[in-house]
């Protein structure tokens, strides 16, 4: 391949960093890969002869691609599959120091996942570029099409929301709820009927979605014993997730999403489980990986 300007070599040199940027903006490894592919296409079609800082220029291109993708996502919710959900990954930036690597790993935590999906695209880009990748507001402003003051305000607004979510994620109540749902899923996978009974309220209500044919004939199941019988040994593909900021689960054996479980907890017991299988309803949920 003819590459007189060494674009391929330069792009590959920065690939890990660019993927880290795209992943933290999009929350999806698959979409991050798509963003890099589109960024390469844009790079190869532009005149880069006057670019002095190729790493910075590539970050700008990737950020603009991600901004376009986030805006499209807001206007047209994609059908959810398991691989589309955010997953915790540790991407290594080229040339970064260990302390910065730790910061990047820590930045993709529960608190951020609780909030990022609800930020508007400009807020998300401004926050990620400034707070995670240390770009100045003067560099961020042209990427998001705002002035420097607006870029600062957008990042600040996102920061406050993430700090609030962090306080929630660090709270003992949130941790107890997570442990309870995790115990429920573990008992369900192993078929531990007695353990299921201990985490369920005696009057627990299970609301099943008629859109999932195997349970269509039983839209409502009442009582701990009946619900435990229904779940014992039947959550092999279940995974902990955040659903609209609360702990829940998705059931997706072999990566194929079957349904979502919204779980309500009171006084240390599960009092209600709602199964959602209808794709249009699932698209309206903000779902983020917890494990």
What are the residues whose beta carbons fall under 8 Å from the beta carbon of 140, sequence distance 6 or more? 125, 126, 129, 130, 151, 155
Indicate whether 147 pLDDT > 80: yes
Final residue belonging to a domain, choices 136, 169, 202: 169
- Residue that terminates a domain, selected from 126, 152, 169: 169
- The predicted pLDDT at position 117 comes to 65
Does the global pTM surpass 0.95? no
Q: Is residue 35 part of a domain?
A: yes
For residue 107, pLDDT beyond 90: no
Is residue 214 located within the same domain as residue 267?
yes
Q: Are 166 and 245 in contact (CB under 8 A)?
A: no
Q: Are residues 201 and 258 in the same domain?
A: yes
Count of structural domains, the chain: 2
Give me the pLDDT at residue 105, please. 41
- Tell me the per-residue pLDDT of 232-290, one tens digit each, with 9 for 90 and over: 887 777 888 888 778 899 888 777 788 899 999 999 999 999 999 888 888 778 777 66
Q: What is the DSSP letter of 92?
A: P
Of residues 4 and 269, more confidently modeled: 269
Cβ 288 vs Cβ 117: under 8 Å = yes
> Given CA atoms 273, 276, 281, 286 in this order, what sign does their dihedral have?
positive
Mean pLDDT computed over 60-89: 64
Question: Is position 248 within any domain?
Answer: yes
121, 88: one domain: yes
The domain that holds 146 is classified in CATH as: 1.20.140
* Predicted local distance difference test score (pLDDT) of residue 115: 67
Q: Measured between alpha carbons, how far is 12 from 29 in angstroms, rounded to an integer? A: 17
Domain holding 278, by residue range, is: 172-289
Looking at the domain assignment, is residue 24 inside a domain? yes
Higher pLDDT, 197 or 237: 197
**pLDDT tens-digit profile of 8-34?**
888 999 999 999 889 888 877 788 899
Of residues 143 and 51, the one with the higher pLDDT is 143
Asked if residues 128 and 140 have their Cβ atoms less than 8 Å apart, the reply is no
Q: Is the pLDDT of residue 108 over 60?
A: no
Question: Is residue 193 pLDDT above 80, yes or no?
Answer: yes
CB 90 within 8 A of CB 103: no
Domain boundary among 144, 169, 194: 169
Inside any domain, residue 275: yes
CB burial class (10 A; 0-12, 13-18, 19+) of residue 75? Answer: exposed
255: left (phi over 0), alpha (psi -120 to 50) or beta: left
Number of alpha helices (DSSP H) and beta strands (DSSP E) in the chain: 13, 7
């Amino acid at each position: 391949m003819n590459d007189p300007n060494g674009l391929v070599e330069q792009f590959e040199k920065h690939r890990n960093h660019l993927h880290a940027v795209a992943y933290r903006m999009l929350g999806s490894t698959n979409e991050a890969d798509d963003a890099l592919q589109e960024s390469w296409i844009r790079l190869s079609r532009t005149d880069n002869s006057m670019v002095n800082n190729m790493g910075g220029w590539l970050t700008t291109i990737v950020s603009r691609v991600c901004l376009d993708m986030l805006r499209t996502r807001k206007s047209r919710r994609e059908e959810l599959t398991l691989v589309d959900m955010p997953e915790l990954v540790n991407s290594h930036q080229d040339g970064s120091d260990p302390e910065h690597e730790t910061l990047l790993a820590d930045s993709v935590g529960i608190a951020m996942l609780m909030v990022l999906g609800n930020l508007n695209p400009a807020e998300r880009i401004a926050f990620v570029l400034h707070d995670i990748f240390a770009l100045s507001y003067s560099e961020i402003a042209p990427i998001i099409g705002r002035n420097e003051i607006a870029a600062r305000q957008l990042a600040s607004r996102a920061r406050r929301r993430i700090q609030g979510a962090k306080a929630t994620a660090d709270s003992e109540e949130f941790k107890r709820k997570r442990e309870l749902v995790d115990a429920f899923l573990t008992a369900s996978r192993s078929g531990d009927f007695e353990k299921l009974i201990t985490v369920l309220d005696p009057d627990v209500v299970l609301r099943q979605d008629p859109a999932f044919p195997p349970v269509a004939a039983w839209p409502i199941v009442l009582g701990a014993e009946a619900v435990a019988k229904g779940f014992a040994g039947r959550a092999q593909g279940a995974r902990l997730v955040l659903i609209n900021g609360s702990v829940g689960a998705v059931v997706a054996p072999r990566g194929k999403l079957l349904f979502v479980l919204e779980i309500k907890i009171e006084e240390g017991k599960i009092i209600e489980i709602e199964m959602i299988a209808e794709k249009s309803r699932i698209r309206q949920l903000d779902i983020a990986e917890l494990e």
